């Protein structure tokens, strides 16, 4: 396929062409150096057309019903006139290997809807790379006119933190299971949660879901120590649709509160600032790995540090010095 000029690609993305949105996302997902350069040029053209979407993170332990929920919620939002994009942060990519077919099956109704764009997580790779790709894909989708972006995360570890740093509202799907009141909601994550919805409140499970929501509400109030700061805990069923409208209302309310307090702008500014440093760190590490001096010295230094004949701090210093020499004599150039 011939490579489109970046300006033309940007234009087609802004016009909403699905084909070009796909191509633009493929470009921003690539870590190939030449592609990165084109991606940066593309994003520069797209960014002025971004920022107006409602960005919502959807988290929850595997099996909580994230895909089912996103599918049902997405369809509702489209009925309300929204255009919905779904992206994911899943560095493990255990579930579908990132195949579109996988997500088509998972989010059947949404993936085939004209008003939606479901992008599977780029497969595998380290979290930093996946988070970058997701964040940039989100910008492409916003520029293409998607006004709701749902960012899904596997409910484990650092990917939740990464997602909470790219959305306005962080929604957590809870799951009623007897005896493990706060299981899956670790303190660090809890502080980032804006709305909790206990899913699968249907059939025989409805009562248990309500009890769990009540317990969770109490426990969260204890942890925050202030009921005004305690996120709302609701119940819903992605199957029957019960409670989904209320969950969306809670998301909008949270966002409205942020806007009224001027904190939405603040939140996004903070996110941009930490993003700046995340990118810089990643680039510096990448540059370090590519530095010929570092490449040459690393095996020996690693061996000595492992054997205990060289301390890690000294070893680290030697690596930095090897890198600095490459920078100084121009052997290394900016990627």
* 207 binds ligand GDP, rule: CB under 6 A: no
CA atoms within 13 A on the CB side of 293: 18
* 200 binds ligand GDP, rule: CB under 6 A: yes
Apex 323 CA angle, 322 and 327, nearest 5: 120
* 213 binds ligand GDP, rule: CB under 6 A: no
Residues in the chain: 335
Contact assessment for residue 302 and residue 309, using Cβ atoms and an 8 Å cutoff: no
CB of 122 to ligand GDP, least distance (A): 18
Q: Which is nearer to ligand GDP, 164 or 237 (CB)?
A: 237
Q: Which stretch binds ligand GDP (CB under 6 A): 61-69, 139-147, 184-192, 312-320?
A: 61-69
CB of 96 to ligand GDP, least distance (A): 11
| Residue, CB closest to ligand GDP | 65
Q: Which is nearer to ligand GDP, 11 or 206 (CB)?
A: 206
Q: Which of residues 51, 63, 292, 335 is near ligand GDP by CB under 6 A?
A: 63
Q: Is 202 exposed, middle or buried (0-12, 13-18, 19+ CB in 10 A)?
A: middle
Q: Which is nearer to ligand GDP, 202 or 215 (CB)?
A: 202
CB of 160 to ligand GDP, least distance (A): 13
CB of 242 to ligand GDP, least distance (A): 9
Which residues inside 221-280 make contact with ligand GDP, applying CB under 6 A? 237-239
Q: Which of residues 66, 82, 135, 254 is near ligand GDP by CB under 6 A?
A: 66
* 199 binds ligand GDP, rule: CB under 6 A: yes
d(CA 139, CA 277): 18
Q: Which of residues 68, 93, 121, 235 is near ligand GDP by CB under 6 A?
A: 68
Contact assessment for residue 43 and residue 28, using Cβ atoms and an 8 Å cutoff: yes
Q: Which two tokens stand for residue 66?
A: 């994230």
Q: Which stretch binds ligand GDP (CB under 6 A): 66-74, 190-198, 256-264, 286-294?
A: 66-74
Q: Which two tokens stand for residue 47?
A: 């960014």
**What DSSP letter does each residue of 93-139 carry, written as one string?**
-TTTTT-HHHHHHHTHHHHT-TTEEE-PPPPSS-HHHHHHHHHHHHH
Torsion over CA: 203, 204, 205, 208 (sign): positive
224, 242, 246, 136 alpha-carbon torsion, rounded to 10°:
80
CB of 199 to ligand GDP, least distance (A): 5
CB of 71 to ligand GDP, least distance (A): 8
* 335 binds ligand GDP, rule: CB under 6 A: no
Apex 320 CA angle, 308 and 302, nearest 5: 30
Q: Which residues bind ligand GDP (CB under 6 A)?
A: 60, 62-68, 199-200, 202, 237-239
């Amino acid at each position: 396929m011939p490579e489109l000029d970046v300006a033309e690609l940007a234009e087609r993305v802004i016009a909403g062409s699905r084909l070009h949105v796909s191509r633009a996302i493929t470009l921003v997902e690539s870590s190939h150096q030449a592609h990165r350069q084109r991606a940066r040029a593309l994003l520069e053209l797209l960014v002025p057309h971004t920022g107006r979407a409602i960005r919502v993170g959807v988290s929850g332990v595997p099996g909580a019903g994230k895909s089912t929920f996103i599918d049902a919620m997405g369809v509702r939002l489209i009925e309300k006139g929204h255009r919905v994009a779904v992206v994911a942060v899943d560095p493990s990519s255990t579930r579908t290997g990132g195949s579109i077919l996988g997500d088509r099956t998972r989010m059947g109704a949404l993936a085939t809807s004209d008003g939606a764009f479901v992008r599977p997580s780029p497969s595998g790779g380290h979290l930093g790379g996946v988070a970058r790709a997701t964040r940039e894909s989100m910008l492409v989708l916003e520029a293409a006119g998607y006004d709701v972006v749902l960012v899904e995360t596997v409910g484990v570890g650092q990917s939740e933190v990464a997602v909470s740093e790219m959305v306005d509202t962080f929604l957590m799907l809870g799951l009623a299971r007897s005896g493990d009141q706060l299981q899956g909601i670790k303190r660090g994550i809890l502080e980032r949660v804006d709305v909790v919805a206990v899913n699968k409140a249907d059939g025989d499970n409805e009562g248990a879901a309500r009890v769990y929501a009540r317990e969770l509400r109490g426990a969260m109030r204890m942890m925050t120590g202030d009921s005004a700061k305690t996120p709302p805990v609701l119940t819903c069923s992605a199957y029957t649709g019960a409670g989904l409208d209320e969950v969306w209302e809670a998301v909008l309310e949270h966002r409205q509160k942020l806007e009224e307090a001027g904190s939405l702008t603040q939140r996004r500014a903070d996110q941009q600032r930490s993003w700046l440093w995340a990118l810089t760190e990643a680039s510096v590490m990448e540059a370090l790995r590519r530095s010929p001096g570092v490449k040459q010295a690393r095996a020996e230094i690693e061996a000595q540090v492992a054997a205990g004949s060289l301390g890690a701090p000294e070893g680290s210093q030697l690596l930095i010095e090897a890198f600095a020499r490459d920078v100084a004599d121009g052997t290394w150039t900016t990627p």
